Amino acid sequence: MKSKLISIFAVVTVTVLFYSWLCLACIAKQNNVSQEDYARMSQEIVEQSWQKK
């Protein structure tokens, strides 16, 4: 009985870890910034810093 509980706990733990990893991967992919947007935002920051001087 004890080994069966340990097996069930192990399966649940692995399932939860796998699901969490998938959720994190989806979130990271949704927040991805394209190269063009990154370059544009970087240029805007540089321009704003020059305007402040």
CA distance 47 to 50: 5
- Residue 13: per-residue pLDDT: 95
Better-scored residue on pLDDT, 9 or 50: 9
Q: Which long-range contacts (CB under 8 A, 24 or more apart) does 39-46 make?
A: none
* Tokens 């692995």, located at residue: 14
pLDDT tens readout for residues 8-34: 999 999 999 999 998 888 887 777 778
Residue 43 has pLDDT above 80, yes or no: yes
Q: Which 3 state secondary structure label does DSSP give 50?
A: helix
Residue 45 has pLDDT above 80, yes or no: yes
Task: Please give the model's pTM, rounded to 2 decimal places.
Answer: 0.51
